[in-house]
Amino acid sequence: MIDEAVLDFSAGSLTLLNSILAIVMFSIAIDLKPSDFKILAKAPKPLIVGLFSQFVVLPVLTFLLVLVAQPQASVALGLILVAACPGGNISNFITHRAGGNSALSVSMTAFATIGAIVLTPLNIAFWGSLYGPSAEILRATTIDPVSIAITISFMLILPLILGVMLNTRRPDITAKLRGPLQWVSMAVFIGFVAIALATNWTLFLAFAGGIAGLVIIHNALGLVGGYATASLAGLSPFDRRAVTIETGIQNSGLGLVLIFGFFGGLGGMAIVAAFWGVWHAISGLILAGIMSRKVTTS
């Protein structure tokens, strides 16, 4: 039973993953300056629409998917947890490739990360409790929202603040670091996920087949939901691409940290988050290729 399966993931591996995600967040933050936030304060509509799409529309669509598909408890909670996370570490890179508003994408990642301190544990608890089987897991698990908030703060918020400070005070250094650090951090993260999967390959093969389809549908719902929300809000194609990608690219690395830190590495949840980490990169790059061709021909 996948609800009883537990992936092999040591405390040292969890510390390493925390460090990798902190570096990834730092690589995003060195693209930001305080003036970027002032610009958004004057014209906040795209940012508000994007955050609404990410923290409201995606969790609602996820819950509807769970109700229709009726997956096993740990799989359902894995989908809900991923949907509750902020935008993923590669969303900014993919938005740039798609010809979207990279500044909006980076700012959405930053604000969503800050908002995740409150909204991620809130969404997990709220939507997870509405589905009977996953509610059983939540009742059996001691989840301290304060502990989750502290985990997110040290792993994501602190690197964000340090990155913005460095970019403000020493832009010459961040100009040299920006490109190489983003590529290296993304490569290290993908490599880490690959090693984690290899370590648990037998378990992954046993259960991934039934989960893969759900993750692909879930990711498609995120992308379609983001596009629909941005379109209904009347955003420009430039901003719409950023909102679409930010909604469909989730921080599955943070999801894995929460799963192993607070849910004991529960198999269904961990496999969902791990498969998300691989699939959203593939779907995002495919979508970026399609969007970039439209930019070129328009």
- For the chain, the domains span 11-297
Give pLDDT, residue 298: 47
Find all residues with CB under 8 Å of 15, minimum gap 6, and list them.
Answer: none
Torsion sign across C-alpha atoms 98, 91, 107, 87: positive
Where does 11-297 sit in CATH, by number? 1.20.1530.20
Q: Name 87's bridge partners.
A: 250
Strand ranges (DSSP E) for 22-138?
Answer: none
Residue by residue, pLDDT tens for the chain (298 residues) are 555 555 555 556 667 767 777 777 787 778 777 776 676 777 789 999 999 999 999 999 999 999 999 998 889 999 999 999 988 767 877 887 888 887 788 888 888 888 888 898 899 989 999 998 888 888 877 666 677 777 777 777 788 888 888 888 888 888 888 777 777 776 776 776 676 667 666 666 666 667 888 999 999 999 999 999 999 999 999 999 999 999 999 888 788 888 877 787 777 888 888 888 778 888 988 898 888 876 554 4
Largest CA distance in the chain: 54
The amino acid occupying position 243 is V
User: How many residues does the structure list for the chain?
Assistant: 298
The amino acid occupying position 208 is A
